[in-house]
Amino acid sequence: MKKSDIKTIFGNIFLLAALLAAVPLAAQNFSAVGLHVLDEKKSEDQVTLTLKSSSGLTFGLRHDGTLSDAHLEKVSRFIQIVSDLKSIKPIKIEVTFFQKQLDFLLVPEFYRIGDLDVLPYLPAGLSFSSLDTLQYNFRLKVDNLFVRIKGDFSREDELNAKVVEAVKNPHAYIRKRDPEYFLSKLDSLQEQLDKQQKRTSELEQKNAAMLDVMEVMRRGIMTLDNEGFFSGFKEIPKAKVDFVVNLKRANPAINREQLEKKLKDQKMEISSKELTIILALFFNEFPK
């Protein structure tokens, strides 16, 4: 085979591939995805189709001529989802595909969740879009307040739960999903925490100051009370005071005799008067 013949064959293959890629949508195999073409209209910039699904739903499809088989499969899946809905009966379905964006508009004839009739709250139908996942994004009007319902569609009951929540308490629904609301809440909580920490710090400083004053007062009173006949005023050593106080706080039931024994075991000399003063000032215990 000559080189020129090989080039001709490869050239024809590439040409055929290009022609197949440019085949108009009307020639695609709609039946493969369960769709039947009822009508087709073309203009310079778009193709308008009326289609019917195997489940009996009729809907419109408008596209810019670049709709692929993969997009057509997404259309078929969406129509099947609508067919399976229990709470919604559609009166109109419009599908559009422009600039690689696949969108769906579902206008219900009937939308009831239990005892709740949703139609009075639904001003413009339900909007969906298909990217990596099927997403919904539409508005309800409740008490002159517009509430946006948006998210990834996975189950009918999850969508309906959002709708019921929004209708019953629209203000709470909006606040829960508003990033600014969460930021303001965080700022408010941080402000309260800062104030609380400041108050705690001030209280700790006041408590520390009071403890210092009480310590000075106690030591002053102990010094005044510990007056000897010949020696005058005598300060009780801090080590003895701390030892008695720590023992008593660790074991409030310990009595005077037990304290004196432990002091003796530690070879701490303390007079009966000094022990009386410590117990009186720190624990309000007086000799019987």
Domain count, the chain: 2
Say whether both 32 and 127 belong to one domain. yes
pLDDT in tens, 33-71: 999 999 999 988 899 999 999 999 999 999 998 888 889
Say whether both 121 and 216 belong to one domain. no
Residue 80 included in any domain: yes
Q: Which of 114, 138, 162 is the last residue of a domain?
A: 138
- pLDDT recorded at residue 193: 78
pLDDT in tens, 161-175: 999 999 999 988 888
**Pairing status of strand 58-63 against strand 88-98:** parallel
pLDDT band at 247 (very low <50, low <70, confident <90, very high): confident
Residue 57 included in any domain: yes
Say whether both 30 and 124 belong to one domain. yes
Residue 196 included in any domain: no
- pLDDT recorded at residue 179: 64
More confident position, 1 or 177: 177
- pLDDT recorded at residue 276: 82
User: Which of 17-21, 53-57, 188-192, 275-279: highest mean pLDDT?
Assistant: 53-57
Say whether both 111 and 215 belong to one domain. no
- pLDDT recorded at residue 219: 55
C-beta contacts of 174-180 below 8 A and 24+ residues apart: 174/145, 174/147
pLDDT in tens, 64-114: 988 888 899 999 999 999 999 999 999 999 999 998 899 999 999 999 999
Helix (H, G, I), strand (E, B) or coil at 276: helix
- pLDDT recorded at residue 236: 76
More confident position, 248 or 135: 135
DSSP 6-36: HHHHHHHHHHHHHHHHT--GGGS-GGGGTEE
- pLDDT recorded at residue 19: 43
Distance in angstroms (rounded) separating the CA atoms of residues 177 and 227: 74
**Residue of 136, 279, 145 lying closest to 221 (CA atoms):** 279
Average pLDDT over residues 208-227: 55
- pLDDT recorded at residue 92: 96
User: Which residues have C-beta within 8 Å of that of residue 42, sequence separation ≥ 6?
Assistant: 48
- pLDDT recorded at residue 192: 79
- pLDDT recorded at residue 11: 55
Distance in angstroms (rounded) separating the CA atoms of residues 150 and 128: 9
- pLDDT recorded at residue 183: 59
Q: Which residues of 180-214 are buried (b: 16+ CB within 10 A; e: fewer)?
A: eeeeeeeeeeeeeeeeeeeeeeeeeeeeeeeeeee
Specify the range with the lowest mean pLDDT, choosing from 10-14, 103-107, 115-119.
10-14
Residue 190 included in any domain: no
Helix (H, G, I), strand (E, B) or coil at 200: helix
**H or E element in which residue 253 lies:** none
User: Which residues have C-beta within 8 Å of that of residue 78, sequence separation ≥ 6?
Assistant: 95, 104, 128, 130, 134
pLDDT band at 211 (very low <50, low <70, confident <90, very high): low
Residue 145 included in any domain: no
The answer to whether residues 175 and 168 touch, using CB atoms and an 8 Å cutoff, is no
- pLDDT recorded at residue 12: 55
Residues above pLDDT 90, as percent of the chain: 39
Q: Which of 88, 112, 138 is the last residue of a domain?
A: 138
Residue 83 included in any domain: yes
pTM of the model: 0.54
Could you give phi then psi for residue 12, rounded to 5 degrees?
Answer: -65, -35
pLDDT in tens, 131-166: 889 999 999 999 888 999 999 999 999 999 999 999
Asked if residue 4 has pLDDT above 50, the reply is yes
Residue 262 included in any domain: yes
Q: Which of 80, 110, 138 is the last residue of a domain?
A: 138
Say whether both 129 and 218 belong to one domain. no
User: Which residues have C-beta within 8 Å of that of residue 167, sequence separation ≥ 6?
Assistant: 116, 118, 121, 140, 142
Residue 67 included in any domain: yes
| Mean per-residue pLDDT over the chain, rounded | 80
**Residue of 210, 287, 215, 285 lying closest to 253 (CA atoms):** 285
Determine the straight-line distance between the first and last CA of the chain, rounded to whole angstroms: 129
How far, in Å, are 37, 55, 65, 107, 158 from residue 52 at the CA level? 7, 8, 19, 16, 28
- pLDDT recorded at residue 26: 46
- pLDDT recorded at residue 195: 78
Say whether both 127 and 47 belong to one domain. yes
Q: Which position has the token pair 């003796």?
A: 264
**Residue of 132, 46, 133 lying closest to 95 (CA atoms):** 46
Q: Containing domain of residue 106, as a range?
A: 24-138
The answer to whether residues 259 and 271 touch, using CB atoms and an 8 Å cutoff, is no
